[in-house]
């Protein structure tokens, strides 16, 4: 199996169908095999029923998960543990980044990049580096808030050199996924900085690439959630200091 696409989903009954159809439509025309894993993160709506209804049409689709909501980080770990691909990508259920953007990753991955380039272990999509396209663009206040959180993240957990740790489009080699994700402890939105910090600690090579991002200006991050993310960053820092990721 070449590629596993992991999609964490919580109450996504209105969007998951189109996302899965778009992903399958693109991937079935590529010259590599793949699987699509929807991880139901304790949804209270009909996410599971909608996703499962597509299985007869999408032969490589698997719907898995659990009944009680645990958070996006937990859902991604759950999906990565069930994935079979040599390369494993997680992407958002709202399809903010088209699956075709995965093609930008192959020239950089270990095992797919042209020799004698050594290649990278982790490829992360970025909305904040040159070449990235956001449609529509971020409003100034949201951009500044994101930059502030990025600086705080780098300061606390040491992910310097990465402009956008929160983009929900990230790829891993099988080896890295099987090494890093079992070490992770954060279940919700600060899980991205956690596995990136662990990757840096273990010496894995990370490449940040510009991607296309469909920007939903209606989405917001509550102040309470930002506080929780800040607390989680401090937990990650403490775990690094106390060697809980070793």
Q: What is the pLDDT of residues 56-108, one digit of tens each?
A: 999 899 999 999 999 999 999 999 999 999 999 999 999 999 999 999 999 99
Tell me, yes or no, whether 137 and 123 share the same domain. Answer: yes
- Segments in the chain below pLDDT 50: none
Tell me, yes or no, whether 106 and 54 share the same domain. Answer: no
- Residue 112's pLDDT is 83
- Residue 222's pLDDT is 67
Domain stop point among 63, 95, 127: 95
Tell me, yes or no, whether 23 and 119 share the same domain. Answer: no
Domain membership of residue 83 as a residue range: 1-95
Residues contacting residue 169 through CB under 8 Å, at least 6 positions apart: 89, 90, 91, 92, 96, 97, 101, 124, 125, 211
- Residue 217's pLDDT is 61
Cα dihedral sign, 47-48-51-54? negative
DSSP single-letter state for residue 85: -
pTM of the model: 0.93
Calculate the average pLDDT of the chain.
93
Tell me, yes or no, whether 53 and 175 share the same domain. Answer: no
Tell me, yes or no, whether 55 and 111 share the same domain. Answer: no
Tell me, yes or no, whether 107 and 66 share the same domain. Answer: no
Tell me, yes or no, whether 33 and 84 share the same domain. Answer: yes
- Residue 216's pLDDT is 74
């Amino acid at each position: 199996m070449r590629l596993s696409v992991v999609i964490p989903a919580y109450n996504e009954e209105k969007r998951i169908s189109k996302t899965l159809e778009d992903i399958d439509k693109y991937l079935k025309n590529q010259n590599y095999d793949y699987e699509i894993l929807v991880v139901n993160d304790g949804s209270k709506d009909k996410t599971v029923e909608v996703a499962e209804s597509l299985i007869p049409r999408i032969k490589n689709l698997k719907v898995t998960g659990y009944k009680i909501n645990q958070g996006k980080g937990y859902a991604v770990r759950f999906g990565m543990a069930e994935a079979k691909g040599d390369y494993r990508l997680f992407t958002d259920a709202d399809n903010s980044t088209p699956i075709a953007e995965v093609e930008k990753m192959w020239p950089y991955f270990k095992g797919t990049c042209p020799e004698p380039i050594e290649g990278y272990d982790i490829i992360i999509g970025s909305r904040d580096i040159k070449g990235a396209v956001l449609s529509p663009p971020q409003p100034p206040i949201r951009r500044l808030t994101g930059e502030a959180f990025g600086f705080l993240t780098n300061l606390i957990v040491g992910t310097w050199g990465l402009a956008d740790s929160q983009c929900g489009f990230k790829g891993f080699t099988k080896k890295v996924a099987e090494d890093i994700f079992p070490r992770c402890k954060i279940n919700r939105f600060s899980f991205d900085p956690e596995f990136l910090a662990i990757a840096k600690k273990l010496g894995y090579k990370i490449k940040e690439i510009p991607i296309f991002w469909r920007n939903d200006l209606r989405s917001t991050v509550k102040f309470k959630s930002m506080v929780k993310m800040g607390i989680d960053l401090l937990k990650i820092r403490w775990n690094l200091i106390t060697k809980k990721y070793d």
